[in-house]
Amino acid sequence: MSTPMTSYADLPTVLLDELTAAGLDPGAVHAAVLGALAEDLPDGAADVTSVATIPSSARAEAVVRACEDGVVAGLGVAALVFVTVAGADVAITDRVPDGTTVAPGDVVLRVAGPTRALLTAERTALNFASHLSGVATATARWVSALEGTGARVLDTRKTLPGWRALEKYAVRCGGGVNHRFSLADMALVKDNHVEAAGGVVPAWRAVRDRFPDVEVEVEVDRLDQLEELLTVGCQHVLLDNMDTATLSEAVRLTAGRATLEASGGLTLDRAREVAGTGVDFISVGALTHSVQVFDLGLDMVAAQDPAPERAQVRH
């Protein structure tokens, strides 16, 4: 088996370029992969099951298949896991692009290399791809529910710690739109900020005065608050936990003067009804905070001759 690619500098350029083009920091993704692998191989320990049962010279080919309908994401991260564990002695082929809609039995990735390495990498690779495909699949269901309306589905900051960039990438794979990535790139004035500042307008003005170049969105739960904000020129308003009739009235009052985001306890069953009110966005924390993982499985399909191969990472 080749030396694992624990050094970022040794990783295939084509894979790093792909992650960068996807809006991800490849160095951060590689660090996440190393951290995940360290959970299985603490302090450089061996995969005792694979070492005990599989000769070091054994080679195999395996496929990753979808076990349900959905949208895949994170296959590039899974590829990075296999490359990190197996080093240059691995070939990854037949990988479908992230964002692809798949059906049960579809092969989404094929990998060949040292059998021990493939099995050592298996669970970590599937953990990344299954979770991110779950996010993409959930997002795609919301996108489908909103099709034909003017509303788009937004994610939130309710992400797994350390997984935000990956989860928001998966939302994009599913056709959704990213809200702010951090507390610094946009201001979102919530009810506690409003309480501390003494009202929606004082809170909005405080942010405008302190950070004039930052976009500001203010949460309201009453129409009189919305009217106050429209009067002073607030351009982004979050409508929190409003019923359909109130959302419709909010849209009428706004008359295009601000973007409106509906939020709070929304479900797929109600998605189209809410979109029909004319709001611009529907934000859904469940896309990331309680998503069901997508069922992917890896199966060995063939043993190989023990001749070494150079790493190939291609679709």
Sequence ranges of the domains in the chain: 8-135+292-313, 142-289
Domain 142-289, what fold?
TIM Barrel (3.20.20)
pLDDT tens readout for residues 62-98: 999 999 999 999 999 999 999 999 988 999 999 999 9
- List Cα–Cα distances, 242 to 39, 249, 261, in angstroms: 44, 10, 11
Percent of the chain with pLDDT over 70: 95
Is residue 293 a contact partner of residue 50, using CB atoms and an 8 Å limit? Answer: no
Give the homologous superfamily in CATH for domain 8-135+292-313. Quinolinate phosphoribosyl transferase, N-terminal domain (3.90.1170.20)
User: 10 Å Cβ neighbour count for 274?
Assistant: 24
What is the three-class DSSP state of 216?
strand
Give the model's pLDDT for residue 312: 53
Average pLDDT, integer, range 282-296: 95
Q: Which residues form the catalytic set?
A: 123, 158, 190, 219, 240
8-135+292-313 and 142-289, same CATH topology: no
- The average confidence (pLDDT) of the chain is 94
Give the model's pLDDT for residue 305: 62
Please say if the pLDDT value at position 1 is more than 60. Answer: no
Please say if the pLDDT value at position 132 is more than 90. Answer: yes
Give the model's pLDDT for residue 125: 98
Is residue 102 a contact partner of residue 70, using CB atoms and an 8 Å limit? Answer: yes
Give the model's pLDDT for residue 311: 47
